[in-house]
Amino acid sequence: MNLRIVADSGCDYRELSDVDFKTVPLKIITPEQEYVDDANLDIEAMHQKIAESKSTSSTSCPNMFEWLEAFKGATEVIALTITSALSGSFSSAQQAKDAYQQENPEAKVHVCDTQLTSAGISVLLDYLKQLVKDNVPYEEIVEKLESYKKRCKLIFGLSSLDNMANNGRVPSLIAKGIGLLNIRIICEALEGKVKPIWQCRGPKKEKQHLVNGMIDRGYQGGPVHIHHVFDLAGAQEIAQMLKERFPNCQPIIQACQGMNSYYAEPGAILIGYEGAE
């Protein structure tokens, strides 16, 4: 079986061991520079330049040809995209699927709209990776993947919504006041969109809300990924809180890459986990 997993950079993974894996980059655009969300991106320098600039910034998704290039040479492909409610990546991947199968009639391509981003996609990717390693037949992988994604959840804490509001990802009224007086906002991914669920003051209460929110939504100690934007200590603290409640859980911690760090902004914590459907 020559099965390739392809994901856009909204997954925060640069590589995935033991399977055939490729990513296609999203982009962050300013009047001065285009930042390609790949392994060559200096994320800290990008943030510094954007913070120093008074210019507006925006983002763009991979185009059809970038997806096509990532599919090239594979007879079976499963592509995962950042939520279609906030990005055109799913649409571009679908166009690439149609073009690829026209050129390669025997090829199988499935495009999954994860309705997630960041740590939420990471949970789904790890599940998919195990199915591939277990040599599950392609059609069964697709069926299991689409079923399992209903259990993949994303909850996150932010100290700013400026970039989301400026790019139309959340209403500006919701963003107003977040970050002032140490106000944090807790959100979840719901039907692929950002849904604010709590406001709190200070990182300690934020972490308590994040962990309690996971449990309220069905977390029982299963897979969990904790991604952060320049806040490794905060991610480690949440991992410890989870281990105290669920001794057998094994949180995986990693830094957000370019696109997710741009939207979530410094200080953010994003948690992907297996919850209830």
In this structure, are 13 and 127 located in the same domain? Answer: yes
Q: In what order do the strands lie in the sheet with 269-274?
A: 193-201, 183-190, 152-158, 269-274, 224-228, 252-255
Among 133, 149, 165, the domain-final residue is 149
Query: pLDDT for 22-59, tens place per residue?
Result: 999 999 999 989 999 999 999 999 999 998 887 789 99
In this structure, are 119 and 155 located in the same domain? Answer: no
- Give the per-residue pLDDT at 174: 62
Query: pLDDT for 202-213, tens place per residue?
Result: 889 999 999 999
pLDDT reading at 102 higher than 90: yes
Query: pLDDT for 225-251, tens place per residue?
Result: 999 999 999 999 999 999 999 999 999
In this structure, are 133 and 231 located in the same domain? Answer: no
In this structure, are 19 and 39 located in the same domain? Answer: yes
Does an H or E element contain 139, and which? Answer: helix 138-148
pLDDT category, 171, cuts 50, 70, 90? low
In this structure, are 127 and 261 located in the same domain? Answer: no
Among 114, 134, 149, the domain-final residue is 149
CA distance 71 to 250: 32
Its domain, for residue 112, covers 3-149
In this structure, are 24 and 144 located in the same domain? Answer: yes
CATH code, 193 = 3.30.1180.10
In this structure, are 14 and 77 located in the same domain? Answer: yes
Query: pLDDT for 123-156, tens place per residue?
Result: 999 999 999 999 999 999 999 999 999 999 999 9
CATH code, 64 = 3.40.50.10170
In this structure, are 77 and 182 located in the same domain? Answer: no
Query: pLDDT for 4-14, tens place per residue?
Result: 999 999 999 99
pLDDT reading at 193 higher than 60: yes
Indicate the average pLDDT of the chain: 93
User: b or e along 48-78 (b: 16 or more beta carbons within 10 Å of the residue's beta carbon)?
Assistant: ebbeeeeeebebebbebebbbebbeebebbb
In this structure, are 38 and 111 located in the same domain? Answer: yes
In this structure, are 192 and 162 located in the same domain? Answer: yes
CA distance 143 to 122: 18
pLDDT reading at 175 higher than 80: no
Among 149, 178, 203, the domain-final residue is 149
pLDDT category, 163, cuts 50, 70, 90? confident
In this structure, are 138 and 184 located in the same domain? Answer: no
Count how many domains the chain has.
Answer: 2
Q: Would you call 214 exposed, middle or buried from its count of C-beta atoms within 10 A (0-12, 13-18, 19+)? A: buried
pLDDT reading at 173 higher than 60: no
In this structure, are 46 and 116 located in the same domain? Answer: yes
* Mean pLDDT, range 208-223, rounded to an integer: 96
CA distance 217 to 148: 15
